[in-house]
Amino acid sequence: MSKGSSLSSRNSSSSENNFRSESFSEERDLESIPETGCLSIIVLGASGDLAKKKTFPALFNLFRQGFLQSNEVHIFGYARTKMSDDALRDRIREYLTPNKGTSSEQAEALSKFLQLIKYVSGSYDSEEGFRLLDKEISEHEFAKNSQPGTSRRLFYLALPPSVYPSVCKMIRSYCMNQSHLSGWTRIVVEKPFGKDLSSAEELSSQLGELFDEEQLYRIDHYLGKELVQNLLVLRFANRFFLPLWNRDNIDNIQIVFREDFGTEGRGGYFDEYGIIRDIIQNHLMQVLCLVAMEKPVSLKPEHIRDEKVKVLQSVLPIGQEEVVLGQYDGYKDDPTVPDGSNTPTFATVILRIHNERWEGVPFILKAGKALNSRKAEIRVQFKDVPGDIYKCKKQGRNEFVIRLQPLEAMYMKLTVKKPGLEMSTIQSELDLSYRQRYQGVTIPEAYERLILDTIRGDQQHFVRRDELKAAWEIFTPLLHKIDDGELKPIPYKPGSRGPAEADELLAKAGYVQTHGYIWIPPTL
């Protein structure tokens, strides 16, 4: 059976009410696009880094795998830079095939994909530019014999949030599809969604005056990662997790993001936001919601997002004594960073969820740059075994670790008998490493999943307005204290674990570090 036929045979409505149980494959969770009018994908900011490194490669991979069909889709790039269609194609070509030695099949797919791309130049607040864009889109729709009102227009804003209001006004005024039939207009916006509660609410209000919530897709690429998407399946489709996932058994939960490099030429941009706005308030909070939420009524997007909002509304105000900030030595050497910058490049923040399931369990969110390793993971640490007859407490606790990146894996740290004649114990693991278990399977990139979800109209993995507001309510008081200089980051050396005070805070919160144990990804 061909990929197209196998995908079209899936019952999309039943998948909303049942956890997907298909075997892991390249097509996992990617359904065919509904048959309706032609599809126009408009990438605004087409000449920028985000578009060429993430958006266009994701579109190409969807095309190459058959999820975008050349007989129905056309892709438009829009930006201020004046250039031809071929100039844009040449600009993005190297990012579409990053590996040398492209096969003839891939080369043919690349050639066909690039021919689908047309470029329109114009400013982001120009009636003339957007009228020209609408003219080009309409000509494509007419050429595809789309009936009025059945065409689909997806606008991807690969742009700074400062221009969202003006761009969206132009789209609303000049580029809307007549969606009274089966067609639609949808807008994808990238983070950051504001800098604090008031700016986020202002931006939400501006966009909300122009578009319905069903038309807005606030993208957080962490929600497209394979193991993040696996969290609900793990929690609610496995019987042995259900009785353990609560305050009676879990001592603490860490959600960690570590990078082994600094701002790498992005110092000016990063200094405007800092590690909390850049990583913790969005990416890590989204993961926390999926880890902590109650079981939704169904897999309908609104039921899932309702439960995420309830988690955020249950988070207590952050205590200043449960925050450690850091800034790596050399950060201010970047000429684009102010000499007196108070911006943290590292933060450990403890959140407390005031509800029946999680009362007393610290959720430790930790993110930093220029550290000693690069990884993102969830670490669920269980309480000590009562009546420890093997005297193995010092070896470490049971932990369930979900490695989000790199080397996607899930493993359970547990105590076993050390092989040999003596009765002694050692820490080992039950390991599911994706590279070994699913050999030859390409795990789709986050942007591929999320763009396809947008086309399908599935908002499950996108941030709803009230969810965004609740997350900003948690962090805005802390951020204002940092902005006002009330909280100062502690210097730390690049290549370290971060400030020593952060490890002290973890110990105070109850986290027990396992000394002498290192998880080594298995090899064949």
Task: Look at residues 479, 206, 138 and name the one whose alpha carbon lies nearest to residue 323.
Answer: 479
Q: Which of 379, 395, 385 is nearest to 514 (CA)?
A: 395
Catalytic residue among 74, 140, 221, 283: 283
Per the rule left: phi > 0, alpha: psi between -120 and 50, beta: everything else, 265 is left
Residue 158: how many CB atoms within 10 A of its CB? Answer: 24
DSSP state letter for 320: G
State the sign of the Cα–Cα–Cα–Cα dihedral 479, 485, 489, 491.
positive
**In whole angstroms, what is the distance from residue 40 CA to residue 301 CA?**
24
Question: What is the CA angle 397-402-406, rounded to 5?
Answer: 125
Tokens 């070896």 map to which residue?
Answer: 395
Backbone angles phi, psi at 368, to 5 degrees: -165, 160
- Please provide the DSSP assignment of 235-250 as one string: HHS-TTTTTTSSTTTE
Strands (DSSP E) along 89-215, which ranges?
A: 117-121, 152-157, 184-190
CB count in 10 Å sphere of residue 198: 11
**Residue 241 φ/ψ, nearest 5 degrees:** -80, -30
Of residues 369, 222, 375, 199, the one with CA closest to residue 288: 222
Beta bridge partners of 253: 363, 380
283 carries an active-site annotation? yes
Are 195 and 164 a contacting pair, CB within 8 Å? Answer: no
| Cα distance between residue 129 and residue 131, in whole Å | 6
Pairwise CA distance, residues 202 & 475, whole Å: 17
Alpha carbon of residue 286 to chain centroid? 8
Q: Token pair of 210, please? A: 């122009």
Peptide bond between residue 98 and the one before it cis (omega within 30 degrees of 0): no
**DSSP designation for 217:** E
Q: How many Å is the Cα radius of gyration of the chain?
A: 24
> Which of 516, 511, 33 lies closest to 253 in space, CA to CA?
511
Q: Token pair of 328, please?
A: 């790596």
SS3 252: strand
Say if CB 259 and CB 371 are below 8 A apart.
yes
Known catalytic residues are 283
